[in-house]
Chain A
Amino acid sequence: MVNVIDYVPGTTLLHKLNPVAKLALAAAIILSTFLAQSYAMLIGLLALTLALGAYAGVVDRLLKLLRLLIPIALIMLVLQTAFMREGETLFAFVTDTGLITGSKACLRLLGVALPLVLMLMVTKLNDLANACVEKLHVPYRYAFTFTTALRFVPVFSQEMNAIIEAQTARGVEYDTKNPVKKLKLMLPLCAPLLISSVGKTDATALAAEQRGFYLRTRKSSYKRYPFAACDIAVLVFCVALIAAGAVL
């Protein structure tokens, strides 16, 4: 099963960057997107994310995610234009100010969602956790919790699929076309899913402890994550990006 946040192997510079630098880059793009006011900057940032994705060879997956996000963005646009009553009316209930703020909000939504996903696609979770522990002094138990949670996403979605298949084979109408009905049918499945996930989590905790989890320190990691020249360059670029976002 293919998951959006699965690691995509590669040898590009983006893959080789220090995980902390990648995290900083994603954070800088997001922060800059929040600060930016002009269309040019917002579209530019979105283009930058997609260009980075294209460079790392994951652009097809990013576009797939974008297709999922665009309907949500459009709903936001409609709501924004409906509630924004300032400015001159263009047609029906739509005002020009409403259209401008709404469209910018859409661009922001897309610009905020993609960079983090891009970062996760080009970084192994273990590298991310270890680098954060080493460089950012994040306590290992938090890093471990975070990576385990991400790792469990596909495990649980597989479990959910298996449960839905089992229920469909019993005659529950999950193959209905009506989304409201489908959602109603899915709610009772939360119990089996929850029960199996609590069991799994407990087993994971035991397994981790039996492999010396509590002995782990900041120095344990076999792999080291030193900052190289290009990482420094990326960090400088991050600062520039945020500054540009604040100004433009």
Chain B
Amino acid sequence: MNPIIDIEDVSFSYRETHVPALNHISLAIGEGDFLGIIGPSGAGKSTLAACLSGAIPHHFGGTLYGAVHVADEDTCEVTLTDISRIVGSVLQDIDTQMVASVVEDELLFGLENFGVPHDEIERRLADALQTVGIADLRDREIATLSGGQKQKVAIAAIMALQPRVLVLDEPTAALDPASSLLVFDTLAKINREQNVTVVVIEQKVALLSTFCNRVVVLDNGKIALEGTPHEVFSHAEELQRIGVDSPRVARISNSLAHKKVCSQASPCLTVDEAEALIKHAVGNASHDTKRFAAPSPHAPRPATAQEPVVAFEHVDFAYPLGGAAVHDLTLKVRPGELIGLVGQNGAGKTTFTKLLTGLLKPDAGSVHVAGANTKTTPTSVIARSCATLFQNPDRQICRETVEDEIAFGLELHGTESTRAHEKARKVARRFGLPLDEAPFSLSRGQRQMVALASVLVVEPRVIVLDEPTSGLDYRECMTVMETVKQMAEAGCAVIMVCHDMEVISDFAERIAVMADGRILASGPSRELFAQPELMHAASIEPPQVIELARRLSQSVSPAFEGVGEVSDIVRITEEMVHCG
């Protein structure tokens, strides 16, 4: 059978003089595939998606070599409209994709345009809504939907056109883990039941490895690795070099295989697989736990007796027009602490950060930041001691050069201009940022670094991070987080909102779990992550390693209890196998 999409030796550069975004790519996508594309930022993922959907060469200008065949037609020879009869694409920014204000009209738009007979439209519309599982949203205003629901509407609007291929560019970038999973469930269902080929660009490796039957790793415009998830994620070193994350359980099984503790060649991709593997490896080895050194406890830095720098006391807040209200928030953060705020979309995390920065004032209770009551202190004054790194750096950036941008915050707080610029240059050099470039000409990851640099340079006492890692690739994410960690070690209090539980468990020693506008619990991250009821109540998927350790401590040996790091699991398993 011919592949539905056949890419033959394709190279593409946006400008003649630029480094090619794609460099001699050949790839055949078979009908019914569920293909995942992953790679660091700037590797050419979105460019590849644009080639598949015909946006290259029809919408974006540049130089294209080679040929892309969609259902045996060369994309250069047919119009974009004709390509889109076969390939439906869902863009990164969902709001821009919408053409209507009501869900039903959104679906009608494509159906009407492609001239679907009017007596068939009703059935197609109902079917598409049914498939995606949003039949109840048919008459809703799109503006009132959540991010996950909007994503499903976008998919339904494309599915109604009955494309043979669906191309999605980071469909879950703005979603919480539970909604991301639902979107992938929907895609898997479409793929399975209607044999629609799905091509998805995604950064979340755990999702890719569970749902895709093929994974392509892009690096510098070339295909670095290609194969089933098991094949691809067995190349741990290669992936690390490229700057792609791999599932934590895969890291465990890879290093176990590397140390010859177990012989399995293909890596584990799920907690179930890893549990089975370790159970098997340990086998009947003695389970005398006394012989094993207790796992290195996640050494908390000596609890400082210092006064908390952030104090929420029974804070209530409700938006005047309705929307996520918060109740009875009480939380203290001391200097040097790095605390993670976790919970679903709509749990009240953003409201919490806005109360903290003074953008919102509490209805009841009080918020103190660095000694100032937010109710009586203007936001611009609070900003001197409390800096925020927003999810979208583009909202923060407003100057013409990187140097001006970084110095801007200092100048606002009254630092003299030459001194501010001197400091700005120092920080920029540390991050390797070009001083004279316009911030908007930089890549997304670099813009985030500029925003981070302008937060650091003011040396705040409190840092608020709102999804600091979304839109960043693994390597950029680690750079950002390492820097934040250094800031915490230097005595800064860090409050981090993040959907990536792996990042939270790696960096935050304490977490506060939020659901429905309340703080359900706050405490050491490993303890809380290991409480299944709590995680369930907040709809959070615990980090793989902690979940694995919890299960192993019950099924294999209590020695695994409370373990939270890949290396510890490997070490304990190794000791058990060798001693046993």
Whether A195 pairs with B84 at a CB distance below 8 angstroms is no
* 0 or 1 for each of B362-391: is its CB under 8 Å from A? (1 = yes): 000000000000000011100110111010
Q: Is the CB of A165 within 8 A of B359?
A: yes
Using A204-B97, A206-B59 as known contacts, say yes or no to A195 and B121 having CB atoms under 8 A apart: no
Q: How far is the CA of A18 from the CA of B14 in the complex (A)?
A: 47
9-residue interface stretch from A43-51, A57-65, A216-224: A216-224
Shortest CB–CB separation between residue B461 and chain A, in angstroms?
14
**How far, in Å, is B465 (CB) from chain A's closest CB?**
12
Q: Which of B122-166 contact A (CB under 8 A)?
A: 141, 143, 157-158, 161
CA distance in complex: A209, B82 (Å): 10
Contact between chains at A124 and B102 (CB < 8 Å): yes
Q: Bound state CA distance, A216 and B113, in angstroms?
A: 5
- Chain A residues numbered 132-179 whose CB sits less than 8 Å from any CB in chain B: 144, 148, 151, 154-155, 159, 162-163, 165-176
Task: Say whether A210 contacts B440, CB under 8 Å.
Answer: no
| Residues of the A chain whose Cβ atoms lie less than 8 Å from the Cβ of B464 | 169
A220-B395 in contact (CB<8A): no
B103-111, B278-286, B524-532, B539-547 - the one binding chain A: B103-111
Which residues of chain A are near B81, meaning CB under 8 Å? 209-210, 212-215
Say which residue of A1, A191, A209, A213 sits within 8 Å of B59 (CB atoms).
A209
Q: Does A247 contact B (CB under 8 A)?
A: no
Interface residue? A200 (CB, 8 A): yes
> Is there an interface contact between B55 and A220, defined as CB atoms closer than 8 Å?
no
Task: State which of A155, A169, A188, A200 has its C-beta within 8 Å of the C-beta of B359.
Answer: A169
Candidates B55, B100, B359; contact of A168 at CB < 8 Å? B359
Contact (Cβ within 8 A) A210 B84: yes
Asked if residues B59 and A192 are in contact (CB atoms below 8 Å), the reply is no
Tell me, yes or no, whether A246 is within 8 Å of chain B by CB: no
Contacts of B378 in A (CB 8 A): 173, 175
A212 B114 Cβ-Cβ under 8 A: yes
When distances are taken between beta carbons in the complex, the residues of chain B under 8 Å from A209 are 58-59, 80-81, 84
Complexed CA–CA distance, A151 and B102 (Å): 11
Q: Does B288 contact A (CB under 8 A)?
A: no
Residues of A within 8 A of B100 (CB): 125-126
Docked-complex contact A207 and B99, CB < 8 angstroms:
yes
Which residue from A124, A210, A215 sits with its C-beta under 8 Å from B105? A124
Within 8 Å CB of B401, what residues of A? none
Binding site for B on A (CB under 8 A): 1-2, 6-7, 124-126, 144, 148, 151, 154-155, 159, 162-163, 165-176, 188-189, 191-192, 195-196, 200-201, 203-216, 220-223
Task: Give 7 A-B pairs besides A159-B395, A206-B55, A212-B84 with Cβ atoms closer than 8 angstroms.
Answer: A6-B143, A155-B95, A162-B395, A170-B454, A204-B96, A206-B59, A211-B99
20 residue pairs from A and B, CB less than 8 Å apart: A155-B95, A166-B390, A166-B395, A166-B396, A169-B357, A169-B383, A170-B387, A172-B380, A174-B379, A196-B394, A200-B95, A203-B97, A207-B91, A209-B58, A209-B84, A211-B161, A220-B112, A220-B113, A222-B111, A222-B112
Interface positions of B (Cβ within 8 A of A):
53-55, 58-59, 80-81, 84-85, 88-89, 91, 93, 95-102, 105, 108-115, 118, 121, 141, 143, 157-158, 161, 321, 354, 357, 359, 378-380, 383-384, 386-388, 390, 392, 394-399, 408-409, 412-413, 440, 454, 464
